[in-house]
């Protein structure tokens, strides 16, 4: 069974601070996706990383895929209250086609 361990589970910070969320596994993933979910809504896709060592930037968000494609990180610079939400990493392996394995999520709260 493939597992994705996401940390921290909860993050409460002040506006303007930086933060990093980690997603780790002992398994290799062919791709890894990051989603953001707000209460009562479905997850919204932020980014997909597919190449080991890949770094993608989306405004103040930086996503990195580990060289061995077993881990990923999401770094937010100068967090804003609008960044508040549940952040989820999800990996797709080459062995269980079509299935995304999700981490447990990180609940981020950014206080003004």
Partner 1 sequence: EAGVTQSPTHLIKTRGQQATLRCSPISGHTSVYWYQQALGLGLQFLLWYDEGEERNRGNFPPRFSGRQFPNYSSELNVNALELEDSALYLCASSLSPILEQYFGPGTRLTVT
A 10 A CB-CB count for 61 gives: 18
- What is the phi-psi region of residue 109: left when phi exceeds 0, alpha when psi lies from -120 to 50, beta otherwise? beta
Between 21 and 79, name the residue whose CB sits nearer to partner 1. 21
Q: How far is the CB of 18 from partner 1 (least distance, A)?
A: 26
Q: How far is the CB of 1 from partner 1 (least distance, A)?
A: 9
**29 neighbors 11 (Cβ within 8 angstroms):** no
Site string for partner 1, 80-99 (x = CB under 8 A): --------x-x-x---xxxx
Decide if residue 42 touches partner 1 (CB under 8 A).
yes
Which of these ranges, 15-23, 31-39, 55-63, 77-85, lies near partner 1 under the rule CB under 8 A? 31-39
Token couple for 78? 């100068």
Which sign does the torsion angle of CA 13, 84, 17, 61 carry?
A: positive
**Binding residues for partner 1 (CB under 8 A):** 31, 33, 35, 40-45, 48, 88, 90, 92, 96-105
């Amino acid at each position: 069974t493939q597992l994705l361990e996401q940390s921290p589970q909860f993050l409460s910070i002040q506006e303007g601070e930086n933060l990093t969320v980690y997603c780790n596994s002992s398994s290799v993933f062919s791709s890894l996706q990051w989603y953001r979910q707000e209460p009562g809504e479905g997850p919204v896709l932020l980014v997909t990383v597919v190449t080991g060592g890949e770094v993608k930037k989306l405004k103040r968000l930086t996503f990195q895929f580990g060289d061995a494609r077993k881990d990923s990180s999401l770094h937010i610079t100068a967090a804003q209250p609008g960044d508040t939400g549940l952040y989820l990493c999800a990996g797709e392996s080459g062995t269980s086609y079509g299935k995304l394995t999700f981490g447990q999520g990180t609940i981020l709260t950014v206080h003004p």
